[in-house]
């Protein structure tokens, strides 16, 4: 039985998050200082959480590819170099600003549940909820079709050319970076459980250490098949057949029809205004609109006057988060299976009504404790801006580290565990149904000003993502930080909201995890107002951002210390 069963959900989530980064810690810079300068460039820029992947994307830009080409190539590379977090066994979401049409486009490249996955099937076998890992947690991987949709609509390069750098690194090898090596070591025992995962991801029976050279010839072969045959090589060819054969072997529910029927969908991005800026997210089944709801609530307060180190600011932030996440638990689901009141949820009028519930001197405790599943997302985020100012905000994930923990035969990549985020309740909007998309945590974002892109950014990290989006924007807009400062500033993360899997909220208001650098007097005051605070935590890391200076049209890039990555430009 998992240890989280015997712990409060908030504590289980904190323990899981901390355990996942053992060996991956890096000392933060002094509070509200920065560990590196803003990267600035005139022509093009890429920011990712792994340096080689960033360089792959930059090489594409230098060789005449556009931002979309660079994003796909960088994503393929990071699927190799940061395999616990992402890869072609996972899903993808993207926002694309097309310079030619001067319009923003949204792509939902998430996968659906197997046709054979029904609530009755799980109930008959005694499941109260879907397992967090293993073959029953699978949904169809959407990444490769997402690449194809992006490439066909906006790209200029062939798959063969886009995947060539990643194939070369997979065959020749690359040195594993520090933070990624720490995550890899944290998953070592889990990888030992399944022979195909062990042979793919362990070197002489152990996870690679920093600087070890890692090769993945299995992934190189899979990439070569996609380079030759396109997305059909994944969904209708040998790869689908090998995944389904493995599913049959280990008790999964996949069929060839699940893969043959998979399709991404283009969606209309949604937005709200915040102090003159237009903030864009994707609609459900993702959680991006939670960030918009929080911003709507916070806009009525003079945060600039409060400052980033005040208890008043953090109290309002935490209360806004609780209110938005209560709605997230109730309404966010696949809109193809039932209406989601997105427009109403992100309206200013609704925010005004919700704001009335906030007390300035006392924390809310009657807002339904989070499910530990939502605190453990392993994800990559990358962004690209090219010379024409095409912009891509792309996020891609396996969900947990190495997803479900399974690698199918010789495919060379882990299969995601997104299906664990379905509810088994018959009445919940996010209930499991055949061929349905689950609630999703991964969210790309973009900000426009005066109808032009201003900021391309994201913050990876499961349940932390909307919270991170809002904190970074407040740092930039309210507190005047530069893009590097905005990503490196200490963060708070609230645990304890009800979840879209049907788990109830904490009756005592949950818990706040405070990173090193939050002033002790702020923590003391938050506790006086009724917040329960745990200190010394490392919260959702992985901010990457590119800001387009409206005065000079120059690119300013930031990539925070919590990951191995960097922003690079030319």
Tell me the C-alpha distance between 291 and 54, whole Å.
Answer: 27
Residue 456 bridge partners (DSSP): 446, 546
Work out whether the CA dihedral 109, 157, 546, 560 comes out positive or negative: positive
Q: How many helices (DSSP H) and strands (DSSP E) are in the chain?
A: 21, 19
Asked if residue 264 lies in contact with residue 291, where contact means CB atoms within 8 angstroms, the answer is no
Asked if residue 231 lies in contact with residue 147, where contact means CB atoms within 8 angstroms, the answer is yes
Show the CA angle centred on residue 299, arms to residues 516 and 531, nearest 5°.
Answer: 40
* 409 sits in which H/E element: none
C-alpha distances (whole Å) from 321 to each of 146, 151, 342, 350, 353 are: 30, 36, 17, 15, 15
Tell me the C-alpha distance between 112 and 360, whole Å.
Answer: 42
Q: Determine whether 441 is an active site residue.
A: no
269 DSSP 8-state letter: -
Smallest CA-to-CA distance from 203 within 214, 190, 193 is with 214
Asked if residue 432 lies in contact with residue 119, where contact means CB atoms within 8 angstroms, the answer is yes
The residue ranges of DSSP E strands in 329-473, in sequence order, are 378-385, 391-399, 445-449, 452-458
Q: Which of 379, 420, 441, 448 is catalytic?
A: 379
Which token pair is 334?
């696949």
Helices 311-331 & 520-528, crossing angle to 10 degrees? Answer: 60
Asked if residue 151 lies in contact with residue 159, where contact means CB atoms within 8 angstroms, the answer is yes
Task: Identify the residue whose tokens are 């960097």.
Answer: 566
Asked if residue 395 lies in contact with residue 380, where contact means CB atoms within 8 angstroms, the answer is yes
Tell me the C-alpha distance between 465 and 490, whole Å.
Answer: 15
Tell me the C-alpha distance between 164 and 67, whole Å.
Answer: 17
Give SS3 for 295: helix
Tell me the C-alpha distance between 178 and 49, whole Å.
Answer: 11
Tell me the C-alpha distance between 44 and 554, whole Å.
Answer: 9
Smallest CA-to-CA distance from 200 within 235, 155, 170, 241 is with 170
Give me the count of residues in the chain: 570
- How much is the CA Rg of the chain, to the nearest whole Å? 22
Catalytic sites, residue numbers: 379
């Amino acid at each position: 039985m998992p240890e989280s069963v015997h712990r409060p959900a908030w504590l289980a989530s904190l323990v899981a998050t901390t355990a996942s980064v053992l060996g991956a810690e890096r000392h933060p810079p002094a509070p509200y200082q920065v560990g590196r300068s803003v990267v600035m460039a005139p022509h093009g820029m890429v920011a990712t959480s792994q340096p080689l992947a960033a360089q792959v994307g930059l090489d594409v830009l230098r060789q005449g590819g556009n931002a979309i080409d660079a994003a796909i190539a960088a994503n393929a590379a990071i699927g190799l170099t940061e395999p616990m977090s992402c890869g072609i066994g996972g899903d993808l979401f993207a926002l694309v600003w097309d310079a030619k049409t001067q319009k923003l486009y949204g792509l939902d490249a998430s996968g659906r549940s197997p046709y054979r996955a029904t609530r009755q099937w799980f109930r008959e076998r005694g499941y109260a909820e879907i397992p967090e890992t293993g073959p029953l947690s699978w949904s169809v991987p959407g990444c490769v079709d997402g690449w194809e949709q992006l490439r066909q609509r906006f790209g200029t390069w062939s798959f063969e050319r886009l995947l060539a750098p990643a194939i070369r690194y997979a065959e020749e090898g690359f040195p594993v970076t520090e933070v990624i090596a720490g995550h890899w070591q944290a998953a070592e025992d889990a990888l030992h459980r399944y022979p195909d995962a062990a042979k793919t991801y362990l070197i002489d029976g152990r996870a690679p250490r920093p600087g070890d050279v890692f090769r993945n010839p299995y992934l190189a072969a899979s990439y070569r098949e996609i380079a030759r045959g396109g997305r059909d090589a994944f969904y209708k060819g040998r790869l689908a057949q090998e995944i389904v054969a493995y599913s049959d072997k280990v008790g999964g529910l996949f069929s060839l029809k699940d893969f043959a029927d998979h399709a991404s969908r283009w969606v209309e991005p949604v937005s709200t205004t915040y102090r003159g800026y237009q903030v864009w997210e994707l609609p459900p089944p993702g959680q991006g609109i939670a960030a918009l709801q929080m911003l709507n609530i916070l806009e009525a307060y003079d945060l600039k006057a409060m400052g980033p180190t005040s208890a008043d600011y953090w109290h309002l932030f935490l209360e806004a988060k609780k209110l938005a996440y209560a709605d997230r638990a109730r309404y966010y689901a696949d809109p193809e299976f039932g209406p989601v009141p997105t427009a109403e949820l992100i309206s200013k009028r609704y925010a005004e009504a919700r704001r009335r519930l906030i007390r300035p001197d006392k924390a809310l405790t009657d807002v339904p404790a989070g499910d530990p599943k939502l605190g453990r997302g392993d994800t990559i985020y990358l962004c690209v801006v090219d010379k024409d100012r095409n912009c891509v905000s792309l996020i891609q994930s396996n969900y947990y580290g190495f997803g479900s923990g399974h690698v199918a035969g010789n495919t060379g990549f882990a299969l995601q565990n997104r299906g664990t985020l379905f509810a088994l309740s018959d009445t919940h909007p996010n209930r499991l149904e055949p061929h349905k998309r689950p609630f999703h945590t991964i969210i790309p974002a973009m900000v426009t000003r005066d109808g032009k892109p201003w900021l391309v950014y994201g913050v990876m990290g499961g349940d932390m993502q909307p919270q991170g989006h809002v904190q970074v924007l407040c740092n930039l807009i309210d507190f005047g930080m530069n893009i590097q400062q905005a990503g490196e500033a200490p963060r708070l993360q609230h645990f304890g909201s009800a979840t879209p899997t049907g788990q109830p909220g904490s009756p005592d208001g949950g818990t706040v995890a405070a990173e090193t650098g939050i002033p002790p007097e702020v923590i003391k005051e938050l506790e006086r107002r009724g917040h329960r605070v745990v200190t010394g935590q490392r919260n959702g890391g992985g901010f990457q951002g590119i800001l387009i200076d409206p005065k000079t049209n120059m690119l300013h890039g930031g990539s925070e210390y919590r990951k191995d990555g960097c922003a690079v430009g030319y």
